[in-house]
Amino acid sequence: VYGTDFTPDFFQEFENRRGYDVRPYLPNLLAKTDTEITNRIRSDYRETLSDLLLTEFDEPWTDWAHQHGFKTRLQAHGSPGNLIDLYASADIPECETFGSMPYDIKGFRREKEDIREGDADPIMLKFSSSAAHISGKPLVSSETFTWLRDHFKTALSQTKPEAEDLLLNGVNHIFLHGSTYSPERASWPGWKFYAAVNFNPNNTIWEDAPALFSYLENCQKLLQSGTADNDVLLYWPIHDVWDDYLKGDLFFQFKIHALDEWLYDTPFYKTASKIMKAGYGTDFISDRFVQSLSYAKGTIYTPGGNYQSLVVPDTDVMPLATLKKLVQLKKEGAQIIFQGLPESVPGFANYKEQTEQLHILLTSAQSSISEKPDVVSALQDNTVIAEEIVASGLKYVRRTVDGQKMYYLVNHTAKPIIGTFALQMVAENVRLYDPLNGKEGVADSYVSDGKTFVKLDIASGASLFVLSGERKRLAAWDYFESSDTAYPVKGDWNLRFLKGGPEIPESATIQNLGSWTSMGDKASYFSGTAAYEIDFQNPDTTIEHWKLQLGDVRESAKVWLNDTYLGTLWSNPFEIQLANLKPGTNTLRIAVTNLPANRIRAKELRGEEWKIFKEINIVNKDYEEFDASQWQPMPSGLLGPVSLIPLIKNKSN
């Protein structure tokens, strides 16, 4: 049905829904002229198509699925309709990421030759999660990592911040794009599909992918609990888009890959950006859901959530029914903030009479409704308090679980964020949880002026959950300060290639860490896992706690100290805490896995055919012919420097 712009009963449906027969106005409807009348009739056509898609396709589809014991999952973006309503018609609204987004994380790599620019705008992502939150759907899904990098070039470290931005914007049910079935009989690299990233055993990142999956599981098991706890509803004036000339095109799709056509440079987008940057949790609402709003005791209720305020951005046209509902809520005491007042109603039928009624309504309500261009100040004046923590650079999403607050905090800045920060909750007991390693402990915190102040130390690229409520027998969180002294781990590194291909290079002893691609053709073509092992002396036996920093890792590493497995390092920062080192000699072993890029380069340089699916796996990220023979070898292995940093344990306040 993609691209469908008509249906046999369209004229009757149009008349039933818009109140007039459009057939006499077909010359206006099909004209390419930019006039008020033609734009109003085009708007009616676009709204009718949206209604039909919702009520005659998406909602019946979900009803049918329920009758047969199934749930539905829907990517509404790209539809010619109201995205909020369409997403909400499914059991699981689903957004997507496509391409690569930039991050300031220390050590994060985003080589221009390997990427295509991404579409994961936070405001676009929130259309799906908003639909779930306001309608009461517990899960929000995402098609994740589509074209994150070119084929064979995506590192696990490059997936983490992209996934985190999804989680921060309400997604809690990620699925991977993709994981291709490939039979054992298929020679390497097996069966592939066109849009990268290939999560299966033929990809070397599969070796340490369980660490990524564990992180996502730890995050999502918390983010699937409770309900979203956002402060502000933001009205989406879709009729301003439908009423626009839009280059004279009658059929218009709200595409995720063309946000400049309908989202960027709109008052809605600018207001959403201001609110979110100021620290307010925000969900978007449609005209249809405005009709479902209720108000009681300082709270605005949707079918699935509750909010402190509703903001209406500058809008040119607004349905009369929407304005009536907002005025009613305002009279009941709800905090409704208008950045600007509508000038007219959308559509063609009786628009002059309805516009007059709209002006009368605005005039009669002018004592309670006025323009508030500075939306952040207006929210503050209405005692809607933002989360101050965003000023530190931390990103957050907040949920309520059994009456307790839960924050997911992420540091995508280039520096560690350390200090005591205010959170908008009152909690005598606060605990911290690190989803990367499962560490949990009671936070150093106190309550003052209706806020809870929590001591935090979040490295660049790291994340942390903050949860209110007491848990018995939970130890205090360990806060450490890194010493300025770093002890380099130097000496003879024994390098042994463990598994991979196309051939296993010879073992070697090296003194200086660097890319193994410099060790001859066999190593430069190799993709797989190699172990680095070194004996070193404890540099200071008085130190009880250490941090091991691996420096530049290409691309992930399992770490053992004295034959004890410590963990897998797969994301920035590539570091891990150590328990006491033994006096004297200690043995460090690091198993590093690189990307499959060098192996596919070797295969193409040798002229070996591997593109089995002739129509779907031969393009690169730019949808041009894939040719890895033109690539340079990708740095691989443990590049270092490897260092030991003494940690000083801080006492609680």
N-terminal to C-terminal alpha carbon distance within the chain: 62
Q: Is 314 within the bounds of a domain?
A: no
Query: DSSP character for 650?
Result: P
pLDDT at 180: 83
Last residue of a domain, one of 477, 512, 527: 477
Q: What are phi and psi of 523, to 5 degrees?
A: -75, -35
- The pLDDT of residue 618 is above 80: no
Hey, is 451 helix, strand or coil? strand
Q: Tell me which residue of 79, 87, 73 sits closest to 127, measured CA to CA.
A: 87
Q: Is 385 within the bounds of a domain?
A: no
pLDDT category at 580 given cuts 50, 70, 90 is confident
Residue ranges of alpha helices (H) inside 106-197 are 122-135, 156-168
Query: CA angle, corner 429, sides to 427 and 434, nearest 5?
Result: 105
Q: pLDDT digit string (tens) for 347-385?
A: 999 999 999 999 999 999 988 898 999 999 999 999 999
Query: Stretch 425-433: mean pLDDT, rounded?
Result: 97
No. of helices (H) and no. of strands (E), the chain: 16, 33
Same-domain check for residues 498 and 643: yes
Q: Which residue has the tokens 């964020």?
A: 417
Q: Which residue has the tokens 């109003």?
A: 40
What is the spatial distance between Cα 124 and Cα 122, in angstroms, rounded to a whole number?
A: 5
Query: CA angle, corner 117, sides to 115 and 122, nearest 5?
Result: 130
What is the spatial distance between Cα 59 and Cα 155, in angstroms, rounded to a whole number?
A: 39
Are 116 and 621 in contact by the 8 Å Cβ rule? The answer is yes
Same-domain check for residues 397 and 542: no
Query: DSSP character for 348?
Result: S
Query: DSSP character for 58?
Result: I
Query: Stretch 316-336: mean pLDDT, rounded?
Result: 98
Peptide bond into 99 cis (omega under 30): no
Same-domain check for residues 399 and 472: yes
Q: Is 453 within the bounds of a domain?
A: yes
Q: Is 236 within the bounds of a domain?
A: no
Q: Is 468 within the bounds of a domain?
A: yes
Peptide bond into 27 cis (omega under 30): no
pLDDT category at 237 given cuts 50, 70, 90 is very high
Q: CB-based contacts of 414: which residues, under 8 Å, 6+ apart?
A: 104, 105, 106, 460
Hey, is 261 helix, strand or coil? helix
Query: Stretch 394-416: mean pLDDT, rounded?
Result: 98
Q: pLDDT digit string (tens) for 53-73?
A: 999 999 999 999 999 999 999
Q: pLDDT digit string (tens) for 490-520?
A: 999 999 999 999 999 999 999 999 999 999 9
Same-domain check for residues 493 and 639: yes
pLDDT category at 614 given cuts 50, 70, 90 is low
Q: pLDDT digit string (tens) for 545-560?
A: 999 999 999 999 999 9
Q: What percent of the chain has pLDDT over 70?
A: 99
Q: CB-based contacts of 381: which residues, under 8 Å, 6+ apart?
A: none
Last residue of a domain, one of 457, 477, 497: 477
Same-domain check for residues 526 and 573: yes
pLDDT at 472: 83
pLDDT at 641: 98
- The pLDDT of residue 567 is above 60: yes
Q: What is the domain extent for residue 403?
A: 390-477
Same-domain check for residues 514 and 589: yes
Q: Is 563 within the bounds of a domain?
A: yes
Hey, is 212 helix, strand or coil? helix
Q: Which two tokens stand for residue 139?
A: 């899960």
pLDDT at 617: 60
Q: Is 62 within the bounds of a domain?
A: no
What is the spatial distance between Cα 389 and Cα 392, in angstroms, rounded to a whole number?
A: 6
Q: How many CB atoms are closer than 10 A to CB 200? A: 18
pLDDT at 181: 86
* Residue predicted with more confidence, 305 or 472: 305
In terms of C-beta density within 10 A (0-12 exposed, 13-18 middle, 19 or more buried), how is residue 623 classed?
A: exposed
Same-domain check for residues 520 and 640: yes
CATH code, domain with 497: 2.60.120.260
Query: Stretch 89-101: mean pLDDT, rounded?
Result: 97
What is the spatial distance between Cα 88 and Cα 129, in angstroms, rounded to a whole number?
A: 9
What is the spatial distance between Cα 13 and Cα 618, in angstroms, rounded to a whole number?
A: 45
- The pLDDT of residue 570 is above 60: yes
Same-domain check for residues 459 and 564: no
Query: Stretch 145-161: mean pLDDT, rounded?
Result: 96
pLDDT at 2: 82
Same-domain check for residues 447 and 587: no
Residue 479 CA to its chain's centroid (Å):
29
Query: Stretch 193-215: mean pLDDT, rounded?
Result: 93
Q: pLDDT digit string (tens) for 342-354?
A: 999 999 999 999 9
Are 595 and 635 in contact by the 8 Å Cβ rule? The answer is no
- The pLDDT of residue 178 is above 90: no
The reported pTM is 0.96
Same-domain check for residues 428 and 564: no
Q: What is the mean pLDDT of the chain?
A: 96
pLDDT category at 652 given cuts 50, 70, 90 is low
Are 131 and 87 in contact by the 8 Å Cβ rule? The answer is yes
Same-domain check for residues 424 and 562: no
Q: Is 281 within the bounds of a domain?
A: no
CATH code, domain with 445: 2.60.40.1180
Q: Tell me which residue of 161, 11, 143, 13 sits closest to 74, measured CA to CA.
A: 143
Q: Are strands 282-285 and 232-235 parallel, antiparallel or unpaired?
A: parallel
Last residue of a domain, one of 436, 458, 477: 477
Q: pLDDT digit string (tens) for 448-458?
A: 999 999 999 99
- The pLDDT of residue 653 is above 60: no
What is the spatial distance between Cα 650 and Cα 648, in angstroms, rounded to a whole number?
A: 6
pLDDT category at 195 given cuts 50, 70, 90 is confident
Same-domain check for residues 493 and 642: yes
pLDDT at 619: 86
Number of domains forming the structure of the chain: 2
Query: Stretch 264-282: mean pLDDT, rounded?
Result: 98
E strand residue ranges, 424-525: 430-433, 440-442, 445-448, 451-458, 463-468, 480-482, 487-488, 493-501, 508-510
Are 525 and 602 in contact by the 8 Å Cβ rule? The answer is yes
